[in-house]
Structure 1
């Protein structure tokens, strides 16, 4: 066992303590924990059960933002369960557990359910919740993530959004498959995850049905409702490729299409680096209002029109599709580990630039290292433990990408590819921690990497030049002209950091 920096050891110990400090352990009778044990967001997720599938059926009226729905959750208790919590912000009208009415109460986003009988550990359980509300008016702890637009809505957000349109276990540790059916007035389009299985109309309303067959975290399930131009064709590897563009994009329409329609090409590029694409469909949605960020919704990222205000932007498409591996397939075990999402997706942009001939990864590393002098506050945020208020800080993205390039400089190209491919293969459809990634990197490289990871992820201040830290002398020199990719990457990251 290698020695670890104190910050890493402390963070890991805190996470372990929070995880096991639950009201009832497996095999005992009692209520499930009201949180998943995440230090950054203690109330997110729940304990006592594992969800395998969500069947979400909602009826939504864009004119007044009224939503009513019925969600059926298929789960298995991980203990003898006397009560449990669901994360939900709208008004629950009724709850049934295994077909029997259950008592329930609500406080903020905690929906506490007491079934008529204890649910045995390991048994099949179904939770059916009927509900309604006006999501854009619901605020909990200062949060209002639901985005109402002039022609519909966007249920898109990170790390919270699902509680504003369906009840669930809202933490990446508990992934599930989804059937999502949304009924809207005729002439309104609905986009969601996976494959569009069926549309049907009756009495002036149309129901759009979407299915995703690979496990997804709750925040990665989304809907986009409004007036969209929808295009369907075959994407990479013969998979369905569905894109949607707001009919109000105006001057941004051409640049948006010139970017997002390259998704299959980008997915093929990423597959060459990372291994098999982990999902069953591809695509993207571009909004014209309501959001100023992009998000890696599983199989179908969502982009603000602002990414395309200066022309085509493939960097953001690379970033969000890299997340299909880093963040979607392999998710954070707790939100402290956000570097595993954002650092890797940002470094994928650098590799795309290298592939396109607009700047090598070393040139980009040198640019960002020199751009931030040693006394820049940028270096005071730790990508390995940024704190709940800084999970989307510049340093998590840019210093995060620099960390991976420093690792590349220390272990070499082939070893880095081996590390990354092994990580996404062994962790597919599950979660991971920074400590687990470091252990894998040391195993694959045969090198002791404490100095590198401590300097880049867990120590305030600019990492020094040196062989052990992966910083070359060239990083101290400001290039006369930065790599061509810099402007697009900077424009992309300036918006991406807003998605909290």
Structure 2
């Protein structure tokens, strides 16, 4: 498959904003952005969220969301007002039980002014009542990332989706625990993150409650509504929930279900490579709509059915579940650190291919290295350690991301590489990290100076030379074509990259 078929998503330019300069001991507004260099207005300043309680009534007519979200947070400065990211229409806001003033400074920013200043270090409970039709809402020239409509509908997207269905501090740097209540017409399933707490019926409404106690970034929260075959249980010592659309053709549904039912065993193997699984439950969701990508929604990835167009595809299951360590548990500090997510999950596919005998890591590295000539500036021209928002989800970030880690494995040795990945996942569990943090840990674990290695692989827009210093001296020279695994890997990467179509860039 030609690499030039990779999705190339043109991302609208972010608007630079001036952040409020704090005066010592003076109360003021929280900033309208958390400070991400790619997307200056993503997230908000002045508070840290500890939990979300999201109660959604979903009306298929008009793909309508009616919500009440309760946010518990701690003020990180004296606050006279603060922002929440929300594209739907708020009808009521209270702060600590008292009505608060609220207004939109732009369609995405809900500005809340509490009745009294919230003092630094104090807790606040914010309750927002809101409604809208998320599928119809575009922002900054980008269409809604919402998937499907009517009785087959899903809140899903990266780098953001939260603003289309609940108010939040929408950046990976502010993680929190989540409780979900989904109220849907009787007979529809409503799937979310974490454990299923209960499923009850009240008149013509089914009520599904889900809980994700471990810290989660807002974009990883999802809601899938439709006619799903839901399978629950425990296998290989792991509790799981698998949901596959009942409307898919029976043969395709069977193939998908068989692969997703192997998730617990795949997680157990990944734990031997990356350390203990960071969450309490596993699973997967495949809806009716062919939305074109997969996403590592925490504890339960969501996949488009197209990954199974050619039959069984465990490689994608490996990739999305590797993200549970790299992307979900250890999240980017800023979006420019995306290599820490996509490079690592893609590298897991190479490890899996070696485990199953499909292709050794070195064979895969050799085939990929030889497939892309130095003249291919599209592939080698992206600085994958800081790709720029226009290339955030380019295929090069995935494929070269995996190649860079395979080369690092060659450079420092398999044993040290495994130690490095386990230590990285353990020490950064539940938090955030920068590329520079990983480089520092790699040097500490390996005992080597690796600045030049990472400069050549992550920050130099050209093909690394085939040298020992670049981890390429011992790759086989005889592999000039592409094995079945590498063709699947490239095809999967093309589809992973398609998620960028859902991005909103402000």
Same structural fold, with TM-score higher than 0.5 when normalized by the shorter chain = yes
Offset of residue 150 of structure 1: 5.1
Aligned positions, number: 481
Moved more, 322-331 or 255-264: 255-264
* Number of the residue aligned with 1:188: 188
Offset of residue 419 of structure 1: 1.2
* Number of the residue aligned with 1:298: 298
Structure 1 residue corresponding to 2:42, chosen from 41, 44, 47: 44
User: Per the alignment, do residues 449 and 356 of structure 1 end up closer, same or farther by CA in structure 2, a change over 3 Å counting?
Assistant: same
* Number of the residue aligned with 2:129: 130
Q: Once the two structures are superposed, what CA deviation does each residue of 1:363-414 show, in whole Å capped at 9, x if it has no partner?
A: 0000111100000020001111111111111111010111101111111111
Conservation of the 8 A alpha-carbon contact between 2:468 and 2:474: no
Q: Distance in 2 between matches of 1:228 and 1:102?
A: 40
SS of 1:157's equivalent? coil
Offset of residue 147 of structure 1: 1.6
Q: Distance in 1 between matches of 2:88 and 2:253?
A: 35
2:446 paired with 1:445: yes
Q: Distance in 1 between matches of 2:412 and 2:81?
A: 50
* Number of the residue aligned with 1:307: 307
SS of 1:498's equivalent? helix
* Number of the residue aligned with 2:288: 288
User: Per the alignment, do residues 127 and 243 of structure 1 end up closer, same or farther by CA in structure 2, a change over 3 Å counting?
Assistant: same
TM-score (norm 2): 0.93
Q: Distance in 1 between matches of 2:324 and 2:236?
A: 14
Moved more, 150-159 or 417-426: 150-159
Offset of residue 418 of structure 1: 1.3
Conservation of the 8 A alpha-carbon contact between 2:363 and 2:479: no
Offset of residue 484 of structure 1: 3.2
Q: Distance in 1 between matches of 2:22 and 2:188?
A: 46
Conservation of the 8 A alpha-carbon contact between 2:170 and 2:219: yes
Summarize the alignment of residues 9-20 of structure 1 with structure 2, pairs less than 5 Å apart. none
* Number of the residue aligned with 2:8: none
Offset of residue 475 of structure 1: 5.6
Structure 1 residue corresponding to 2:51, chosen from 48, 53, 56: 53
Q: Distance in 2 between matches of 1:407 and 1:263?
A: 27
Q: Distance in 2 between matches of 1:473 and 1:348?
A: 20
* Number of the residue aligned with 2:114: 115
SS of 1:359's equivalent? coil
SS of 1:443's equivalent? helix
Offset of residue 169 of structure 1: 0.4
2:87 paired with 1:89: yes
Offset of residue 491 of structure 1: 2.3
SS of 2:499's equivalent? coil
SS of 1:69's equivalent? strand
Conservation of the 8 A alpha-carbon contact between 1:24 and 1:33: no
Offset of residue 482 of structure 1: 3.0
Conservation of the 8 A alpha-carbon contact between 1:56 and 1:72: yes
Q: Once the two structures are superposed, what CA deviation does each residue of 1:256-315 show, in whole Å capped at 9, x if it has no partner?
A: 112111101100110011110000110000112151110000000000000001000001
SS of 2:259's equivalent? helix
Q: Distance in 2 between matches of 1:240 and 1:182?
A: 21
Summarize the alignment of residues 123-162 of structure 1 with structure 2, pairs less than 5 Å apart. 123-143=122-142, 144-149=144-149, 151-162=151-162
SS of 2:278's equivalent? coil
Conservation of the 8 A alpha-carbon contact between 2:290 and 2:306: no
SS of 1:240's equivalent? strand
User: Per the alignment, do residues 358 and 26 of structure 1 end up closer, same or farther by CA in structure 2, a change over 3 Å counting?
Assistant: farther
Structure 1 spans left out of the alignment, 5+ residues: 1-17
Q: Once the two structures are superposed, what CA deviation does each residue of 1:137-158 show, in whole Å capped at 9, x if it has no partner?
A: 1111123111223523111100
Q: Distance in 1 between matches of 2:24 and 2:138?
A: 34
TM-score (norm 1): 0.94
Q: Distance in 2 between matches of 1:469 and 1:282?
A: 36
Q: Distance in 1 between matches of 2:187 and 2:59?
A: 12
Conservation of the 8 A alpha-carbon contact between 1:158 and 1:499: yes
Q: Once the two structures are superposed, what CA deviation does each residue of 1:36-66 show, in whole Å capped at 9, x if it has no partner?
A: 1001111111110000000000100123211
2:235 paired with 1:240: no
User: Per the alignment, do residues 236 and 78 of structure 1 end up closer, same or farther by CA in structure 2, a change over 3 Å counting?
Assistant: farther
Query: Which one has more relative contact order, counting CA pairs under 8 Å at least 6 apart?
Result: 2
Conservation of the 8 A alpha-carbon contact between 1:295 and 1:320: yes
User: Per the alignment, do residues 212 and 405 of structure 1 end up closer, same or farther by CA in structure 2, a change over 3 Å counting?
Assistant: same
Q: Distance in 1 between matches of 2:24 and 2:494?
A: 44
* Number of the residue aligned with 1:217: 217
Conservation of the 8 A alpha-carbon contact between 1:53 and 1:177: yes
